[in-house]
């Protein structure tokens, strides 16, 4: 076998095992070794001067043979490619935000401890600015966001009273700087219609009207409708109110813009209006205030368990004793509202009345609220009509949770259920302001009327069946 054939077989045998550069190098070394071996030397090991031998090797032929032998593989076939590795992770900010929502019973001290901050950190922040007084009284629902880059180091504290309002504290060379957070919500209108089957509250819940707006609607009409005795099955109501959105997400309800209640065929309509002095009120389309001198009831959800009766038999003493007020049975904790503007002259325990609140109103009027579980006001405070002043309980001589409500005029007890006929009429828009009132409410009343007409027609349309 000639040398070319040997090299050819060598190349074919190892072509799949080694890269081409390695094969060329090996073959070259092999050729050189063969040439050296073919050069004769004397037995004594001495080189013979000027003696050489020619080896008939055609290099071009060898290259051609090798090229032919190696055409079946490429260099890339022998390169070991590294597996694709995951891209190097980007630098991640190690600063930690701790988010805390204030719960009932929480204090600012316990919250600071929970996030790993000391009382010293808390006092430094509290004494940094007037804005820090917000921390003196925190309420359930507040959102506190702590930015803590290192353990025990507070860089920022963001306090949100609600999604739209808060304060941002940032560490500086002199303590902390405060920046007010004020965001503006997008307002959208929502219109709902309901029919009374059981109660206003149940009908409102069925139509998914926020509970706060059901209560407010009862408050708006509280001077003209007695929601215990007046409502009838089939009564209809409608309400147009605002919803608040922030960055496309619903964050809460806004104001009632207009509302209507149809009671036994009589329609009552109320529209929101801000007068020239900035006072917000609800008025009929004719400009008569819906806010009467006194609300007809101090509760929103209740049933009357005992009426005013000068000859009622006392349930505990079993004797004839005048019942000088009205008892409203309601669950413990039900909010109790002031029926008119006034001043708190009593907010303490009082014998069989239990926890009692007494309000003095303008003129010769006075109201009493007894058997409360707890108070929401203190003696000497001024209160507004509809303001929550306490909560239903069963203190004193009560046989169960209820509110005992009394109404006095000139020191004489009156029947709270009928005294409204003797009270001053509702205040109306001043004649000098009527043009402004009509201008401000005309478009809203027209929109509300159109919504009512279209939806009531749909509701009252006879079934195709």
The pLDDT value given to residue 215: 85
Percent of the chain scoring above 70 in pLDDT: 71
Same domain assignment for residues 407 and 312: yes
pLDDT-derived band at 395, boundaries 50, 70, 90: very high
Q: Is residue 49 part of a domain?
A: no
Same domain assignment for residues 318 and 462: no
Q: Is residue 418 part of a domain?
A: yes
The pLDDT value given to residue 201: 84
Report how far residue 353's alpha carbon sits from residue 368's, in angstroms, rounded to the nearest whole number: 10
The pLDDT value given to residue 50: 43
Same domain assignment for residues 189 and 177: no
Selection from 60, 59, 69, 54 nearest residue 31 by Cα: 59
Q: Is residue 86 part of a domain?
A: no
The pLDDT value given to residue 159: 95
Q: How far is CA 306 from the centre of its chain?
A: 41
Same domain assignment for residues 176 and 191: no
Selection from 105, 115, 106 nearest residue 158 by Cα: 115
Say how many C-beta atoms besides its own lie within 10 A of residue 191's C-beta: 16
243-283 per-position pLDDT tens digit: 999 989 999 999 999 999 998 889 999 999 999 888 899 99
Report how far residue 342's alpha carbon sits from residue 359's, in angstroms, rounded to the nearest whole number: 6
Residue 226 confidence (pLDDT) above 80: no
Same domain assignment for residues 127 and 190: no
Query: Span 16-37, mean pLDDT?
Result: 61
The pLDDT value given to residue 227: 75
Same domain assignment for residues 235 and 279: yes
The pLDDT value given to residue 24: 62
The pLDDT value given to residue 39: 58
Higher-pLDDT residue of 154, 427? 154
Q: How many Cα atoms within 13 Å fall on the side-chain side of residue 441?
A: 27
Contact 216, 233 (CB under 8 A): no
Same domain assignment for residues 229 and 318: no
The pLDDT value given to residue 75: 41
Residue 118, token pair as written in the block: 């000391």
Measured in degrees and rounded to the nearest 5, phi and psi for residue 80 equal: -80, 110
Same domain assignment for residues 144 and 221: no
Start-end of H helices in 53-210: 59-69, 108-114, 119-126, 200-206
> CA torsion, points 324, 199, 229, 366, in degrees to nearest 10?
40
Contacts of 189 (CB under 8 A, 6+ apart): 240, 241, 242, 243, 257
Measured in degrees and rounded to the nearest 5, phi and psi for residue 295 equal: -70, 150
The pLDDT value given to residue 437: 96
Looking at the 3D structure of the chain, how many domains does it have? Answer: 4
pLDDT-derived band at 80, boundaries 50, 70, 90: very low
pLDDT-derived band at 427, boundaries 50, 70, 90: confident
CATH of the domain at 400: 2.70.70.10
pLDDT-derived band at 364, boundaries 50, 70, 90: confident
The pLDDT value given to residue 96: 75
Task: Tell me the whole-structure pTM to 2 decimals.
Answer: 0.59
Q: What is the CA radius of gyration of the chain?
A: 45
The pLDDT value given to residue 5: 62
CATH of the domain at 189: 3.10.450.350
Q: Is residue 46 part of a domain?
A: no
113-158 per-position pLDDT tens digit: 999 898 888 999 998 888 998 988 899 999 999 999 877 789 999 9
Higher-pLDDT residue of 86, 117? 117
Q: Is residue 137 part of a domain?
A: yes
Report how far residue 332's alpha carbon sits from residue 403's, in angstroms, rounded to the nearest whole number: 10
Q: Among the listed ranges 34-48, 110-124, 233-247, 317-331, which one has the minimum average pLDDT value?
A: 34-48
The pLDDT value given to residue 351: 92
Domain boundary among 182, 213, 239: 182
The pLDDT value given to residue 440: 95
Same domain assignment for residues 202 and 150: no
The pLDDT value given to residue 180: 93
Same domain assignment for residues 125 and 204: no
Q: Among the listed ranges 13-17, 168-172, 173-177, 187-191, which one has the minimum average pLDDT value?
A: 13-17
Contacts of 141 (CB under 8 A, 6+ apart): 101, 102, 162
Selection from 267, 218, 214, 282 nearest residue 456 by Cα: 267
The pLDDT value given to residue 324: 77
Q: Is residue 297 part of a domain?
A: no
Q: Is residue 87 part of a domain?
A: no
Q: Among the listed ranges 28-42, 328-342, 360-374, which one has the minimum average pLDDT value?
A: 28-42
Which domain does 17 fall in, by range?
Answer: 3-39+55-78
Query: Span 345-367, mean pLDDT?
Result: 94
Residue 228, token pair as written in the block: 């215990």
Residue 60 confidence (pLDDT) above 60: no
297-320 per-position pLDDT tens digit: 898 765 555 554 444 454 554 554
Report how far residue 22's alpha carbon sits from residue 30's, in angstroms, rounded to the nearest whole number: 12
Same domain assignment for residues 68 and 156: no
| DSSP code per residue over 254-297 | EEEEEEEEEETTEEEEEEEEE-TTS-EEEE-TTSBBS--SS-S-
Same domain assignment for residues 416 and 308: yes
Higher-pLDDT residue of 292, 353? 353
Domain boundary among 47, 78, 109: 78
What's the mean per-residue pLDDT of the chain? 80
Q: Is residue 88 part of a domain?
A: no
The pLDDT value given to residue 11: 58
Query: Span 327-334, mean pLDDT?
Result: 90
The pLDDT value given to residue 308: 41
């Amino acid at each position: 076998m000639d040398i070319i054939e040997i090299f050819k077989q060598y190349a074919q045998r190892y072509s799949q095992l080694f890269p081409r550069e390695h094969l060329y190098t090996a073959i070259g070394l092999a050729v050189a070794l063969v040439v050296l071996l073919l050069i004769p030397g004397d037995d004594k090991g001495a080189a013979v001067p000027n003696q050489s031998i020619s080896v008939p090797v055609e290099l071009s032929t060898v290259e051609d043979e090798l090229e032919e032998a190696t055409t079946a593989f490429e260099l890339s076939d022998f390169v070991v490619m590294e597996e694709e590795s995951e891209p190097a992770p980007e630098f991640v900010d190690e600063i930690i935000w701790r988010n805390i929502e204030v719960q009932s019973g929480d204090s600012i001290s316990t919250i600071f401890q929970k996030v790993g901050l000391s009382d010293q950190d808390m006092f430094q922040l509290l004494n940094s600015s007037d804005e820090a007084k917000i921390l003196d009284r925190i309420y359930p629902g507040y959102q506190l966001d702590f930015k803590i880059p290192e353990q025990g180091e507070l860089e920022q504290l963001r306090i949100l009273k609600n999604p739209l309002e808060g304060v941002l504290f940032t560490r500086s060379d002199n303590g902390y700087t405060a920046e007010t957070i004020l965001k503006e919500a997008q307002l959208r209108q929502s219109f709902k219609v309901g029919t009374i089957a059981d109660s206003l509250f149940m009908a409102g819940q069925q139509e998914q009207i926020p509970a706060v707006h059901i209560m407010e609607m009862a408050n708006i009409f509280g001077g003209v409708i007695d929601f215990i005795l007046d409502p009838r099955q089939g009564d209809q109501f409608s309400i147009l109110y605002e919803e608040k959105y922030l960055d496309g997400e619903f964050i809460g309800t806004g104001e009632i813009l207009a509302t209507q209640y149809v009671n036994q065929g009589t329609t009552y309509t109320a529209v929101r209006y801000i007068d020239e002095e900035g006072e917000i009120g609800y008025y009929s389309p004719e400009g008569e205030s819906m806010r009467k001198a006194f609300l007809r009831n101090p509760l929103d959800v209740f049933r009357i368990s005992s009426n005013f009766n000068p000859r009622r038999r006392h349930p505990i003493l079993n004797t004839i004793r005048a019942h000088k007020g009205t008892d409203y049975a309601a669950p413990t904790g039900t909010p109790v509202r002031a029926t008119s503007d006034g001043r708190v002259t009593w907010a303490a325990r009082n014998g069989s009345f239990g926890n009692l609140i007494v309000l003095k109103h303008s003129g010769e009027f006075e109201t009493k609220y007894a058997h409360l579980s707890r108070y929401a006001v203190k003696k000497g405070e001024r209160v507004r009509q509809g303001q929550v002043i306490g909560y239903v309980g069963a203190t004193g001589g009560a046989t169960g949770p209820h509110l005992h409500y009394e109404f006095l005029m000139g020191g004489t007890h009156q029947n709270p259920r009928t005294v409204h006929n003797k009270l001053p009429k509702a205040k109306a828009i001043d004649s000098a302001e009527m043009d402004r009132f009509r201008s401000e409410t005309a478009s809203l009343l027209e929109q509300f009327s159109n919504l009512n007409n279209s939806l009531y027609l749909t509701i009252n349309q006879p079934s195709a069946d």
